[in-house]
Amino acid sequence: MKTSRQSVILDIIAQENIETQGQMLQALQARGVKSTQATVSRDIKELRLVKEIGPDGRYRYTQADQDEANEAARRLEGIFRESCLSFDHALHTVVIRTLPGLASAVCASIDAMGEDTILGSVAGDDTGIIVLRNAAAAERLCTQLRRAYKR
């Protein structure tokens, strides 16, 4: 089902200019594919879709070049290392403190990890919140971040 849905997503972006996840969800439903916004979001990450400016000047989803996707991941990792001040977890939530104005970039770097246990993130100016499926997943994420991003 997942492979089939992702195949339809690739077909959609090849034929239509899709700007938002909501539009993607509507296009899937028009083709008889039932899904949720959260599933579409995960599919977009797994397929490494990116937004680019189309010929009409509006943004649209497109498939990223693999080198481009790897470079983006490296940049996000650098943003995380340079911007993150601290992180900790409580229950199924990880709270991240960043330099002012950089919480969104840090949350994007964590979202880009593509972990199935990450349900989503919300970023303010200097604080990001990552919501995970359970407390064990939040603890594992913090452990992973501590190992990978020691200062």
DSSP state of 36: -
Question: pLDDT of 120-133, one tens digit each?
Answer: 999 999 999 999 99
| Residue 90, pLDDT score | 95
Q: What is the rounded CA–CA span in Å between residue 95 and residue 87?
A: 6
Percent of the chain with pLDDT strictly greater than 70: 88
Average pLDDT score, the chain: 85
How many Å apart are CA 77 and CA 62, to the nearest integer?
22
The better pLDDT of the pair 32, 81 is held by 32
Contacts of residue 27, defined as CB under 8 A and 6 or more positions apart, other chains included, come to: 12, 16, 18
pLDDT above 90 (res 30)? yes
Domains and their CATH numbers in the chain: 2-63 (1.10.10.10), 73-148 (3.30.1360.40)
Task: Give the pLDDT confidence of 38-81 residue by residue, as tens digits.
Answer: 999 999 988 888 888 877 788 889 887 655 556 656 666 677 77
What integer pLDDT is reported at residue 130 of this predicted model? Answer: 95
Which pTM value belongs to this model? Answer: 0.51
Question: Is 80 exceeded by the pLDDT of residue 117?
Answer: yes
